[in-house]
Structure 1
Amino acid sequence: MLIKSDSVKASLLAVTAFFFMAVFGLLTKIALQDSPTIWVSFIAYLTGTLALFPYILKKGFSYLKSDHYTLLFGRALIGTLASFLYSLSIHYIPIVNGTLLFNTAPIFIPILALLFLKVKVSNSVWLAVALGFLGITIIIKPTEAILSEPGNLIALLSGFCLAIAYLLMKLLTGTDPGIRIIFYYLGLGTLVQIPFLLFSSSWPGIEGFLFALASGLSLCLAQYCLVSAYKYANASEVGVYQYSTVAFVGIFDWLIWNMIPGWWDLIGILLVVMAGMIIIRSHNHNDKVKAN
């Protein structure tokens, strides 16, 4: 529920949130250089959970009570899977490609909304979905080698999972406060990863541990800024800044690893960003129509 409409505050908070998401990706990629993916993900989620714990203690554990535990658990599990797949993908492919494919979620949302929520999808949105998949095809370059080097497919699957998490989040934002949703997301995400640590063949390195800890703080800050942005604008208005993450990551990739995407990758990125923006703006228009 909006406290008041303030597009400037919403914009600043949204850009800050997506900047921290880019930092999360950057720190995660560095941590993965000497640590297993499952340990990096677990440490990040545990750090985020512990960062929120003082707030929960101040509010009291009654703050965690909800009438929508199924949605909270579902959003936490699928959101954690999306984040883990993203972390796994950037271990194998450039961080710009992984981040862009992770942010294909808006392209999948109309399909999922039609199948599960019976939401009518306009022709312009379907055109944007087609445009987005064309961009995805250009980026992942589907050949027989894609099965032996599945980094792009893993990243694309993370975007699909993120789309499901977004739909569950949309159902929750009208009934539960943002910090509660984030705490369930990070807390349950931490717990669900514990059994998989037993199957890890190695321990995290000291450097990997520290960078994973920092990535967890970045993830928590990103989530907090995003929830705060929703206080001043609806989700669609905040969502138009989502692809700033790709720009931030691109700058990091260039400055740190001197990686510059090729022309075909840039064309694919442009198509996906255009498609995502069209779909997000379409949601914004629908929200305004409903409000009137």
Structure 2
Amino acid sequence: MQNPATKDISLAKALMCLMTSAFLFSIMGVCIRFASHTVDNATIVFFRNAVGLFIFIPMLFKQGLNFVKTEKLWMHTWRSLVGLTAMYGFFYAIANLKLSNAMVFSYSSPIFIPLIAWLFLKEKVTKSMIFAAVIGLIGVLFVAKPDQGMFNALSFIGLGACFLSAMAFVTVRALTNTEPPERIVFYFCIFGTIISSVPMFWHWRAFTWNELALLVAAGLLANTSQLFMSYAYSLAPAGQIGPMNYIAIVFAGIWGFIFWHELPDTSSLIGIAIIIFAILLCNPRIQKRFFSAST
């Protein structure tokens, strides 16, 4: 059993790693936004997956076929399909919405996870989970409202990507019963690279060095961010450190202001506050305190 001092050090390291993950993810969003000025969405998604695939080459040489051996190929395929579709939506949102608003979609999937886990994994859903999901959805709708109005293509793409991302997370949860995290990410990268190469092929052209630098950087940042996140969750419980993820929205807001002079409107600020409140309610400890205090 960890002594309090060691536990505090682990928690501090976990929080720092998660903050680093959020910081890197926000810079990835900047790279994608700049790349999207001249590069199509299909190509950006392809490079995001292809660059990630190269990270696993040393593991393949070291562990051989044991690294890729699986009895859950169909679940890996399903996870890749929904996760890749969500990625297309997120990257499209980054290219067309304020950066901070697009990041909200990337980090709002926990709102939908309890419902999807109930539908597909038959996990128990409590009233507090339903309450948190409804509150969170209201917040997402506040943020999803571009200047043209609440219900339009951009809003539905962002919400759809958020929902599909939640489905991918639930599938990952089921896969972790038998599969190591590295294998799950590997199959996502390889299936994502193969599938995304098809639409990318129709847009293929010679890229400038600047475009290639942005595309490779986005892939490296995304995968490095995932590594920091995985290490953080190995050091401390998700419920304790999870809310630190949402600092990525703050980072994205800073980059959006520096590079594109973006400022969130009142509706977006209200929505972000509601979403953070809703996701905090997903923590069982906070649920217990909140609902016991309200009764």
TM-score normalised by length of structure 1? 0.86
Following the alignment from structure 1 to structure 2, what is the Cα–Cα distance between the partners of residues 74 and 37?
22
- Matches of residues 1-292 of structure 1 in structure 2 within 5 Å? 6-141=10-145, 150-200=153-203, 204-279=207-282, 281-282=283-284
Post-superposition CA distance 1:112-151 (Å, at most 9, x none) = 122222222222222222211221222233999566x522
- CA-CA distance at 1:250 after TM superposition: 1.2
Identity of aligned residues (%): 25
Following the alignment from structure 2 to structure 1, what is the Cα–Cα distance between the partners of residues 51 and 171?
24
The change in CA–CA distance for 1:230 and 1:140 in structure 2 (over 3 A counts) is closer
- CA-CA distance at 1:20 after TM superposition: 1.9
Following the alignment from structure 1 to structure 2, what is the Cα–Cα distance between the partners of residues 20 and 64?
28
CA contact (8 A) 1:78 1:162 kept: yes
Aligned residue number for residue 289 of structure 1: none
Following the alignment from structure 2 to structure 1, what is the Cα–Cα distance between the partners of residues 144 and 89?
16
Following the alignment from structure 1 to structure 2, what is the Cα–Cα distance between the partners of residues 77 and 267?
33
Post-superposition CA distance 1:6-40 (Å, at most 9, x none) = 32332222222222222222211111111111111
Post-superposition CA distance 1:165-214 (Å, at most 9, x none) = 11111122342222222111112111111111233386644422220110
The change in CA–CA distance for 1:13 and 1:143 in structure 2 (over 3 A counts) is closer
Following the alignment from structure 1 to structure 2, what is the Cα–Cα distance between the partners of residues 153 and 97?
14
CA contact (8 A) 2:36 2:95 kept: yes
Number of aligned residue pairs: 281
CA contact (8 A) 2:146 2:155 kept: no
The change in CA–CA distance for 1:166 and 1:277 in structure 2 (over 3 A counts) is same
The change in CA–CA distance for 1:252 and 1:143 in structure 2 (over 3 A counts) is closer
Following the alignment from structure 2 to structure 1, what is the Cα–Cα distance between the partners of residues 73 and 97?
36
- CA-CA distance at 1:110 after TM superposition: 1.5
User: Which amino acid in the other structure matches residue 278 of structure 2?
Assistant: A
Following the alignment from structure 1 to structure 2, what is the Cα–Cα distance between the partners of residues 274 and 78?
27
CA contact (8 A) 1:36 1:202 kept: no
- CA-CA distance at 1:285 after TM superposition: 7.7
CA contact (8 A) 1:51 1:217 kept: no
TM-score normalised by length of structure 2? 0.86
The change in CA–CA distance for 1:232 and 1:28 in structure 2 (over 3 A counts) is same
CA contact (8 A) 1:104 1:156 kept: no
Unaligned runs of 5+ in 2: 1-5, 289-295
Aligned-partner SS, 2:45 = helix
Query: Bigger shift: 182-191 or 47-56?
Result: 47-56
Unaligned runs of 5+ in 1: 287-292
